[in-house]
Amino acid sequence: MEETKVKRMNKTSTTVCLAFVVFLLGLPLANGADSRPNVLFIMVDDLRPELGCYGSPYVQSPNIDSLATQGLVFKRAYCQQAHCRPSRYSLLSGLRPDSAGIWTKEDVRPALADTPLLPDYFKQHGYYCVGIGKIAHNNEEDPACWSEPHSMPQNYRFEYRTRAGRAMVDQMQRQASEAGLPNPFEGVSESKRRGMPYECLDVADNELSDGQIADEAIAALKRLQDRPFFLGLGFLRPHLPFVAPRHYWDLYDPEQLPTVDPTAAHDGIPKLSSANSSELRKQYRNVPAEGNLPDELNRNLWHGYLASVSYVDAQIGRVLDTLNRLGLADNTIVVIAGDHGFSLGELGLWGKATNFESATRTTLIIYSPGMKASSESTESLVELVGLYPTLCDLARIPKPNHLQGKSFSTLLDVPDRATSDCAISQYGRGDNMGRSIRTERYRLVEWRHRESGKLVGRELYDHENDPNETTNLCESTEHNGTRDSLPEKLHEVTPHRRAGDQ
């Protein structure tokens, strides 16, 4: 009888203990008691690998460079399409542009209606998710991604125009009104209102959007420190127009900046591939629509781009300093990624929107607590579409089944062990789509009609002998084997799809 009583007491005690454990598991845990790492995910618009940690002799980027001494620098990270919206939705969905159904800045996301974007997936796994700035595209931020309303600086949209451009528009509208004339800008496109493509301002950092994003990020870190969080930040610069406070312009001597060779020839390159980005050519004042840019404009654009990079670097530094000061750095994954590259006069091109190396290769730096390859770099080919599964691995949460990108989390421990043998990018031009495969040595681009699939152009570049991609080798009999073998891999990863296919 006593034995039975003891057994019953033990059984009752076990039940009570189990119930108590279940109760505890349901309580929110302080960050120090929760082993899950936080995520600080920083997207920077149009940030090509023009940074000190990538070997640039021009730019001053001490804060991003400092993170690089703790994390891993990906020397060959590639976007899936060199345009803001397609690239960002590919990264955030883990799908290639053809599967996401987003190829232009106008495309909506019907194919993604049932696909959890990266922050949404982390939210489903217990993270408190906060978004500040341009993470998807402009104000098009999915409410499902965030645990509280997404935040965008009040004047964000205006910063696609310079202040001088806005002042000009305001003055002309005021003069027309005083004279009883119609508004001269009624129905006029936004691009005609923008002014010059660069501007140096006598303002404090937080009078511009990126300073305000940093302010909000610092406040968010202070209130999120006691729970696992995913904090997404999207900085606007160095997107055009290149606008920054004067003290960042003063970091550079214009006479010491690189000169642009406008005569760089494209030998045998299809016209489809080298069509210039309309963003600079058609949307800003005093920029010729065709032909070479004047030397002074080339130099001013370079100056403005570098000043913008240094300005954003300082804002990122403020955020990282707060992360350290709050004692969160040791348990926070930090990602700094450009959404794509940006041509700064290479091959006579300015902007993104091509399949060339300068447009598709981008910035990627990752720090993860406990990583073995800190303060190192890797030459392994990686794709931004692989960031989704990589972050799942690093945060130790299961990967969803829909992902098309390949995780490269193992590189953070063994950076010289390649996780992929190629990177795929694409960009459309009118009725045609150009799909590119970048391997260790070569880049092959196939241009096909969107509807019929007819081959209308090909490019092959040998990066060992032609890193600037100036000579198309597709007609070289010496390279027949490479030209004919690479399409098989390209079609395997991204088969031709008709326009409208999902």
Dihedrals phi, psi of 422, to nearest 5 degrees: -160, 165
Q: Is 84 a catalytic residue?
A: yes
Q: Are 427 and 354 in contact (CB under 8 A)?
A: yes
Rounded Cα distance, 74 and 382, in Å: 8
Q: How far is CA 321 from CA 203, 236, 327, 412, in A?
A: 22, 20, 10, 23
| 3-class SS of residue 131 | strand
Other beta carbons less than 10 A from residue 182's beta carbon:
8
The length of the chain is: 502
Which regions of 79-193 does DSSP assign to beta strands (E)?
A: 128-133
Rounded Cα distance, 96 and 86, in Å: 9
Q: How far is CA 378 from CA 22, 24, 251, 373, 480, in A?
A: 44, 42, 30, 9, 30
Q: Find the mean pLDDT for residues 76-80.
A: 99
Tokens of 487: 């399409």
Q: For residue 49, give the nearest of 71, 75, 69, 72 by alpha carbon.
A: 75
Rounded Cα distance, 282 and 189, in Å: 11
Tokens of 240: 């055009």
**Nearby residues of 401 by Cβ (< 8 Å), 6 or more positions away:** none
The answer on pLDDT for 101 being more than 90 is no
Rounded Cα distance, 121 and 451, in Å: 34
Tokens of 110: 């019907």
Q: Are 89 and 134 in contact (CB under 8 A)?
A: no
The active-site residue out of 83, 137, 239, 266 is 137
Residues of the chain by 3-state class (helix, strand, coil), percent to 5: 40, 20, 45
User: Using one digit for the tens of pLDDT, what is the confidence trace for 152-178?
Assistant: 987 766 565 555 555 555 555 565 566
Query: What is residue 270's predicted lDDT score, i.e. its pLDDT?
Result: 82
**DSSP H or E run through 124:** helix 118-124
Rounded Cα distance, 256 and 68, in Å: 25
Q: Could you say which DSSP state residue 471 is in?
A: B
Tokens of 124: 């489903």
Q: Could you say which DSSP state residue 151 is in?
A: B
Q: Find the mean pLDDT for residues 338-344.
A: 97
**DSSP H or E run through 72:** strand 72-74
Query: Alpha helices, DSSP H only, in 341-479?
Result: 357-360, 387-395
The answer on pLDDT for 26 being more than 70 is no
198-218 burial by CB neighbour count: b if 16+ within 10 A, else e? Answer: bbbbeeebbebbbbbbbbbbb
The active-site residue out of 53, 79, 83, 84 is 84
* End-to-end CA separation in angstroms for the chain: 71
- Indicate the range of 74-78, 143-147, 264-268, 382-386 predicted with least confidence: 264-268
Domains and CATH numbers, the chain: 35-416 (3.40.720.10)
User: Using one digit for the tens of pLDDT, what is the confidence trace for 270-291?
Assistant: 888 877 778 898 888 888 888 8
Query: What is residue 365's predicted lDDT score, i.e. its pLDDT?
Result: 99
Q: Is 79 a catalytic residue?
A: no
Q: Are 91 and 337 in contact (CB under 8 A)?
A: yes
Residue type at position 486: L
**DSSP H or E run through 217:** helix 209-224
Query: What is residue 440's predicted lDDT score, i.e. its pLDDT?
Result: 97
Query: What is residue 20's predicted lDDT score, i.e. its pLDDT?
Result: 41
Tokens of 77: 């990270």
pTM value is 0.88
The answer on pLDDT for 13 being more than 50 is no
User: Using one digit for the tens of pLDDT, what is the confidence trace for 234-274?
Assistant: 999 999 999 999 999 999 999 999 877 765 657 678 888 87
| 3-class SS of residue 194 | coil
Residue 377's beta-bridge partner residues? 73
Residue type at position 239: H
The answer on pLDDT for 142 being more than 90 is no
Query: What is residue 54's predicted lDDT score, i.e. its pLDDT?
Result: 98
